[in-house]
Chains A and B, each alone.
Chain A
């Protein structure tokens, strides 16, 4: 039987998280159909159809699906689950919101944040902020999974050309309504797909200093910007930049932590990065225990010196 992968997107492009989750979905071994829901998403559907290993793309369009609210999205998915044994989605905020609704309606337990596909019914997932990894098996009739994108490489976009089929959109929910959104507009790479991330912590001290110190280094390296919870709580950086157990989970080639102590909740979001750099003036900061390169120095002198060395 087949696997249904629900695509996430920002209304313009297919998210990188979907191409990564597709890799996990393919490892299950059944043909993978991709569902693209939204309003005016023909280009996104075409993008999905070009990914390696997609059997079919299903597109549902309508104003009701424009913001991927959980209620209509779950309604849409429920209608087509008969044909699938596995219903999967990347563990993005939109899918974390909607997928448990699907699982509950199907009366099955969801397996959240899958980091490894061990067999078609057996998966590994982190618990306790990644301090333990649990192998779980499901013998239920259907399996509902969210996939931690950072744990899988992206499936290649190529000359594949899967057939695209249209589905009717569900009716609008009578109890839930989209009011508005305040989304970051940044020309920098997205946290989830960036090759390099420069993150700032409480040590930055203010939003002005965060911008003055973190941003130039990030731009010099072509990096995305991240932040610790302390930096976000203090208003130095917006919430969508938080890295950690309860923020974004990232695994870039290079992660540079500036003035971040290395609390377990922060490490949960970045410890799978290939190379970790820590700049911290406290020799005992726990971040040094996982850093490949540690520099014990005041970040306000170290970062300008790095900029000079990079010039």
Chain B
């Protein structure tokens, strides 16, 4: 069984972003980029399935500018087998990403597509569900446990009230939550090896997908900041202040 893992290049989770002065978006020039943390977890899960003999090949896909190849190389260094870069400039919305992935799924025929539950830049939390809908496949989103057994995958999901477990017939779509696993670091020898692994390039046109954005981003602004308040000297003073403020 092949597994496809889509990975997105995003601003590093430790960076505090800034909105551009002209409200046209977020400043991305010279900002440190990294693989979306949920996608690292997706790569790790695919690797573990392969190591357990449940998968034969792991194909990493990224949609983005030429620089997204770096993110694919990171996944290859972790242990994925080959990469596909779908070269697209500018904004590619989740619906378009899902359509591009569907076209790649048609070519590769994987048993499982494992995505991140959300990308930490746009926080849309859509792509996996959309892909599942377009393929008419079942989905197990926000996964904290994934068990493949024969033609089924059992997914334990983090939901508002706790945990929910579903059983899906393969092929299926899974999206990862934070507690699914701890992703490994790539070792230096593996980083060297990754440079020789195959990385194909394609385009939305070649895949027959119109990736034109549907939504218009009118403007982007900074949220109104919160002022730091006061320091209190003791727990008793704190309780007094809260009573005066009428919140307790």
Point out residues on A near B: beta carbons under 8 Å: 10, 67, 69-71, 74, 92-94, 96-105, 107-113, 122, 126-140, 173-184, 192, 196, 221, 229, 232-233, 238-240, 245-246, 248, 253-254, 264-265, 271, 274-277, 279, 288-297, 302-303, 305-306, 308-310
Q: Which residues of B contact A182 (CB under 8 A)?
A: 162-165
25 A-B residue pairs with CB within 8 Å: A94-B160, A97-B129, A108-B214, A112-B125, A127-B220, A128-B26, A132-B223, A135-B221, A136-B215, A138-B216, A140-B214, A176-B138, A178-B166, A182-B163, A221-B248, A239-B179, A245-B120, A279-B238, A290-B228, A292-B229, A293-B232, A294-B229, A295-B232, A303-B235, A305-B236
B17 in contact with A94 (CB, 8 Å): no
The CA-CA distance from A99 to B26 in the complex, in Å, is 27
Interchain nearest-CB distance for A213 vs B (Å): 13
Interchain nearest-CB distance for B246 vs A (Å): 9
Interchain nearest-CB distance for A148 vs B (Å): 11
Asked if A96 meets B19 with Cβ closer than 8 Å, knowing A140-B214, A293-B242, the reply is no
Apart from A110-B95, A277-B238: 4 A-B pairs, beta carbons within 8 A:
A94-B159, A100-B126, A122-B218, A178-B165
Q: Which residues of A contact B126 (CB under 8 A)?
A: 100, 103, 110, 112
Which residue of B158, B236, B242 contacts A240 across the interface (Cβ within 8 Å)? Answer: B158
Asked if B34 is an interface residue, CB under 8 A from chain A, the answer is no
Asked if A173 meets B138 with Cβ closer than 8 Å, knowing A128-B11, A184-B161, A253-B247, the reply is yes
Asked if A136 meets B218 with Cβ closer than 8 Å, knowing A70-B129, A101-B129, A103-B130, the reply is yes
Which residue of B93, B137, B234, B245 contacts A109 across the interface (Cβ within 8 Å)? Answer: B93
The CA-CA distance from A137 to B214 in the complex, in Å, is 9
A109 in contact with B223 (CB, 8 Å): no
Interchain nearest-CB distance for B56 vs A (Å): 22
Asked if B88 is an interface residue, CB under 8 A from chain A, the answer is no
A138 in contact with B215 (CB, 8 Å): yes
A137 in contact with B133 (CB, 8 Å): no
Query: Which of under 10, 10 to 19, 20 to 34, or 35 or more describes the interface residues of B?
Result: 35 or more
A175 in contact with B169 (CB, 8 Å): yes
Chain A minimum-CB-distance residue to B137: A175
B220 in contact with A104 (CB, 8 Å): no
Interchain nearest-CB distance for A284 vs B (Å): 12
The residue in B216, B219, B235 that gathers the most chain A C-beta atoms within 10 A of its C-beta is B235
Q: Which residues of A contact B137 (CB under 8 A)?
A: 175
Chain A minimum-CB-distance residue to B248: A221
Chain B minimum-CB-distance residue to A10: B161
A184 in contact with B162 (CB, 8 Å): yes
Which residue of B94, B117, B134, B235 contacts A305 across the interface (Cβ within 8 Å)? Answer: B235
Which residue of B161, B168, B179 contacts A183 across the interface (Cβ within 8 Å)? Answer: B161
A176 in contact with B165 (CB, 8 Å): no
The residue in A97, A99, A135 that gathers the most chain B C-beta atoms within 10 A of its C-beta is A97
Which residue of A92, A109, A134, A297 contacts B235 across the interface (Cβ within 8 Å)? Answer: A297
Asked if B63 is an interface residue, CB under 8 A from chain A, the answer is no
Which residue of B134, B160, B213, B220 contacts A132 across the interface (Cβ within 8 Å)? Answer: B220
Q: Which residues of A contact B16 (CB under 8 A)?
A: 131, 264
The residue in B26, B93, B226 that gathers the most chain A C-beta atoms within 10 A of its C-beta is B226
The CA-CA distance from A122 to B218 in the complex, in Å, is 9
A113 in contact with B123 (CB, 8 Å): yes
Asked if A100 meets B94 with Cβ closer than 8 Å, knowing A74-B133, A135-B217, A135-B218, the reply is yes
A179 in contact with B167 (CB, 8 Å): yes
Q: Which residues of A contact B130 (CB under 8 A)?
A: 100-101, 103-104, 110
A179 in contact with B95 (CB, 8 Å): no
Q: Which residues of B contact A293 (CB under 8 A)?
A: 229-232, 238, 241-242
A309 in contact with B133 (CB, 8 Å): no
B94 in contact with A109 (CB, 8 Å): yes
Interchain nearest-CB distance for B228 vs A (Å): 5
Interchain nearest-CB distance for B142 vs A (Å): 7
Which residue of B93, B122, B154, B159 contacts A179 across the interface (Cβ within 8 Å)? Answer: B154
A100 in contact with B133 (CB, 8 Å): yes
Asked if A131 meets B218 with Cβ closer than 8 Å, knowing A173-B138, A292-B230, the reply is no
